[in-house]
Amino acid sequence: MPRDAARLLALRRSDGSLTHHIFRDLPELLSPDDLLVVNETRVTAVRLQGTRAGGGSAEALLLRPAPEHGADTWEALVRPGRKLREGDRLFSTRPG
């Protein structure tokens, strides 16, 4: 998908309404007195796929190291969130 085709959600502050757009619509949504803030944060794209100890698939997207919790500890987004708990282990589904 082209980057300018990414989804964009706009909030109209005057009435609180939300409208759905794509990123290339942004110039049409801005007024001359608007402030645009650009986030250029780099993302570490590390996605781990595996299985839970009790069976079932799971996935973790590593966001950033969290050394304050241990040398090999990362903050992550996990799926399924309700079934994975802190300290759970995932087992690799990759051969080798």
In a domain, 40, yes or no: no
Distance from C-alpha of 61 to C-alpha of 82, rounded to nearest angstrom: 15
Domain housing 52: 46-92
In a domain, 15, yes or no: yes
Q: Total structural domains in the chain?
A: 2
Q: List pLDDT tens digits, range 4-56.
A: 889 999 998 889 999 999 999 999 999 999 888 888 887 666 888 888 888 88
Whether the bond between 80 and the residue before it is cis, its omega within 30 degrees of 0, is: yes
Which amino acid, one-letter code, is at 89?
Answer: R
pLDDT of res. 26: 93
Give the contacts of 66 (CB within 8 A, at least 6 positions apart). 73, 74, 75
Same domain, 88 and 55: yes
Q: List pLDDT tens digits, range 53-92.
A: 888 888 888 888 888 888 888 888 888 877 777 778 888 8
Same domain, 29 and 54: no
pTM for the whole structure: 0.46
Closest Cα partner for 4 from 36, 32, 30, 26? Answer: 26
- The separation between the first and the last C-alpha atoms of the chain, rounded to the nearest angstrom, is 32
Same domain, 86 and 59: yes
